A and B are shown apart, each in its own frame.
Chain A
């Protein structure tokens, strides 16, 4: 099996940071939909 390790693309730490970014975004996005639902009730 070929060795696909490329030091020019070794950025696990950045990948983890980006995942934290996405999680933060998701939480904030959903929270705001919740806030909207509380002030703008439908049905």
Chain B
């Protein structure tokens, strides 16, 4: 008989194998966050032209690894922890097939390690998108495939746990909204990883010399079924975390749970099609095709985000008003628990994702407007707002609750924890805004030297660009400092945090 314990705070029955898998996935995620953060610092200090510390070869090499470590390894390892939490813990169920959970972990770890080694050896200077005909070592593609297969196994364990919980009647009625959001994320993940398989398996065979060619046009189309949809897994997981943080920090309940569930359904139905906004300057697709996919279907996925972006703060406001903060329009906001890092992470994540990432995403994803934004620094400015200021900050916020609940330790360095979301969130929002501003002046993305020293012609940007790139550099350093504070609190809690008896 498997071992359960009951959490005295939440009342959840926690299955020991689920708890161990959540711990190991979360710790591994944080290690990759640390690695990716150090690489991010090197990126920032190279793009800041006055500092410019890496040479071209190492800039592109480490930029590839920064993308993999942050956008793939940190996020997906953490999402595995969320999937096990949202199924086994939230439903007070046993985890289906813990051995498969360990298989997920090992496959992802081995895959990520192969990719990292190949990039560092200089065998995969192909950037995050690895557009063919750029060719990396076949080991690089094999690493990505192993990682993706591991993630699929994790999703299967999640679905199997939902079946077990239903069969063993560990909950009544519908599954809770957080589990529903995680389920939407897992459904999107299966489709996304299937795209990854049909993209990377032939590419792997091509790199190994077993098939003669890869069609670049087909590769790009299929890649974005993987590359962008994987970010929508993040969005679903982040929104599920938003609802959870609202409940944990101020006791909020969704204003209309059915509407929130429908919004998750929109993500499942439309986001994959909307991925084609990455291909808006691609010569192989017709204007009508691009317009339909990004002008219509993309906005149905955007509508889902807008529903959540209204629903979550409204739920927080309702909860705080019920606590007596009813004076005027904004007393609830003034009296909100801003000193609780869970709440400040939630609030800043909402602003970063919604205001900065959301608005710019819709504008840059519009077919006509994309032509002035494509391949400029506006694009990484946009996705640092969504994935970093939004998703990463939300994941950081939930960590402050996972540490006592799953690791059974009091959060260490509470003073640092209190300030951490502000350093990270505000630093990252200024960083993203400055990047988008510089991109508006034509500064290119993924470029080692924006002055064009080795180019056949000189590039003369407006003088304000130098100032803006200095702001990118300084705010990037502040955000990295916020990341270091997070790692310090998380690791400090595991090593010296006071044990909680439960």
21 A-B pairs in the complex with CB atoms less than 8 angstroms apart: A8-B318, A11-B317, A13-B329, A13-B332, A14-B314, A14-B317, A16-B329, A16-B330, A18-B310, A21-B309, A24-B359, A28-B360, A29-B362, A29-B363, A29-B366, A32-B366, A32-B369, A32-B372, A33-B368, A36-B372, A39-B372
- Does the CB pair A10–B321 fall under 8 Å? yes
- B319-352 contact mask (Cβ, 8 Å, vs A): 1 or 0: 0011000000110110000000000000000000
- Does the CB pair B313–A14 fall under 8 Å? yes
A32 to B322, CA, bound (A): 41
SS of B interface (majority):
helix
User: Shortest distance in angstroms between A22's beta carbon and chain B's nearest beta carbon?
Assistant: 9
A17 to B336, CA, bound (A): 15
A28 to B371, CA, bound (A): 16
Known contacts A8-B255, A13-B330: does B363 contact A32 (CB below 8 Å)? Answer: yes
Apart from A24-B359, A39-B372, what are 18 other A-B pairs with CB-CB below 8 Å? A7-B322, A8-B318, A10-B318, A10-B321, A11-B255, A11-B317, A12-B329, A13-B333, A14-B313, A16-B329, A18-B309, A24-B355, A25-B362, A28-B360, A29-B359, A32-B369, A33-B369, A36-B369
- Does the CB pair B371–A40 fall under 8 Å? yes
A9 to B359, CA, bound (A): 26
Tell me the B residues contacting A by CB distance below 8 Å: 255, 309-310, 313-314, 317-318, 321-322, 329-330, 332-333, 354-355, 359-360, 362-363, 366, 368-369, 371-373, 440
Which residues of chain B are within 8 angstroms of A12 by Cβ–Cβ distance?
329
Contact of B318 (CB < 8 Å), options: A7, A24, A28: A7
- Does the CB pair A28–B359 fall under 8 Å? yes
A13 to B333, CA, bound (A): 8
Which residues of chain A are within 8 angstroms of B321 by Cβ–Cβ distance?
7, 10
A24 to B433, CA, bound (A): 14
Known contacts A21-B355, A35-B440: does B363 contact A9 (CB below 8 Å)? Answer: no
User: Closest 9 CB pairs between A and B?
Assistant: A11-B314, A14-B314, A11-B317, A14-B313, A25-B359, A13-B329, A32-B369, A14-B317, A13-B330
Which residues of chain A are within 8 angstroms of B359 by Cβ–Cβ distance?
21, 24-25, 28-29
